[in-house]
Amino acid sequence: MPGRQGRRRPSSPHLAFGRGAHRYLGAALARIELDAAFGVLARRLPGLRLDAPVDALVWAGGQIDAGPTAVQVSW
């Protein structure tokens, strides 16, 4: 098709930092920012709690980039 050369496919919607040669250079800063944001969230919403037991969380990923697929909370 004319005009389609050079177009990139839509990127994946995941938020992984990668690893090895493809590691995101800002990963350390992003983790520091997330730590600060979660700390502020915990202080501003002291009643924040999980809606289900920790054992009920569904996890995805591997050994390095594992994380819950969703975390339902209430306050």
pLDDT tens digit string along 22-54?
A: 677 787 888 899 899 999 999 999 999 999 999
Q: What is the pLDDT of residue 23?
A: 72
Per-residue pLDDT of 57-73, as tens digits, reads: 988 876 666 788 898 99
Q: What is the pLDDT of residue 27?
A: 78
Instruction: Give me the mean pLDDT over the 7-29 stretch.
Output: 68
C-alpha Rg value of the chain to the nearest Å: 18
Q: What is the pLDDT of residue 30?
A: 85
CB 26, CB 48: distance < 8 Å: no
The structural domains of the chain, with segments of one domain joined by +, span 20-74
The answer to whether the Cα torsion of 13, 14, 16, 21 is positive or negative is negative
Q: What is the pLDDT of residue 69?
A: 87
